A and B are shown apart, each in its own frame.
Chain A
Amino acid sequence: DIVMTQSPDSLAVSLGERATINCKSSQSVLYSSNNKNYLAWYKQTPGQPPKLLISWASTRESGVPDRFSGSGSATDFTLTISSLQAEDVAVYYCKQYYSPPLTFGGGTKVEIK
């Protein structure tokens, strides 16, 4: 199984400042035949289902603010919120879909400082 490790577990950032979340996979999720990273980022607020923010490591979903960006390749990935807004308070998860079992990172809780 591919183990996904997120860091930090929690993060407090001032409004308007940058938030950076890291995700490391125990093996590469880069599929060589199409050069795509099978890595997604989700946002979850209390009592709500997860919401897809980014797929293929860096492709932002329609309607997701451009302050959210994803980067990285193979085993090391980053979700960046360039200017934290109040509505960004949530838990963020990375997930690999390179091979079953689909696995998630443990989550990073983002709060306002």
Chain B
Amino acid sequence: EVQLVESGGALVQPGRSLRLSCTASGFIFGDYAMSWFRQAPGEGLEWVGFIRGKAYVYGGTIQYAASVKDRFTISRDDSNSVAYLQMNSLKTEDTAVYYCGRGGHCSTTTCPLVIDYWGQGTLVTVSS
């Protein structure tokens, strides 16, 4: 059974840092891209960024939404099936539930970002 469990959410002050983890099980982690999304209270879904799987010709490629570029960093530890979201210089507008998502399955030539499994989310509140 595929499972994704986020952790690390907390109440933090503006300007501080936080690292979220997404621990995966039930599939070959390294074969998949992993993405992060967020949802502010009462709002819609926003993509944060992704990191592609190593099988893809551009394996390990990372891309970010403009709103977080240069502040957030995504990484992965394939040996332990964990994806990370390092968040620096946090702003009040970063307050949201953060979700990790699996997808897609990466071959050498394709890595379509169909998010087929999601974690339950972890709440990040940025407030003084």
Contacts and interface: CB of A to CB of B under 8 A. Distances in A.
B80 interface: no
B92 interface: no
Interface residues of A, number: 23
Contacts of B112: 38, 97
State the majority secondary structure of interface residues on B: loop
B66 A101 contact: yes
Interface stretch (A20-28, A69-77, A79-87, A103-111): A103-111
A107 B43 CA distance: 9
A109 to B, nearest CB: 11
Contacts of A104: 44-47
Interface in B39-82: 44-47, 50, 63, 65-66
Contact of A61 (B63, B104, B116): B116
A52 B115 contact: yes
Given A49-B120, A102-B35, A97 B45 contact: no
Given A104-B45, A107-B45, 7 more contacts: A44-B45, A48-B120, A49-B121, A50-B115, A93-B44, A97-B114, A102-B113
25 contacts: A40-B115, A42-B115, A44-B45, A48-B120, A49-B99, A49-B118, A49-B119, A50-B99, A50-B118, A55-B114, A56-B114, A61-B116, A93-B44, A95-B45, A95-B115, A97-B104, A97-B114, A100-B47, A100-B50, A101-B63, A101-B65, A102-B50, A104-B47, A107-B44, A107-B45
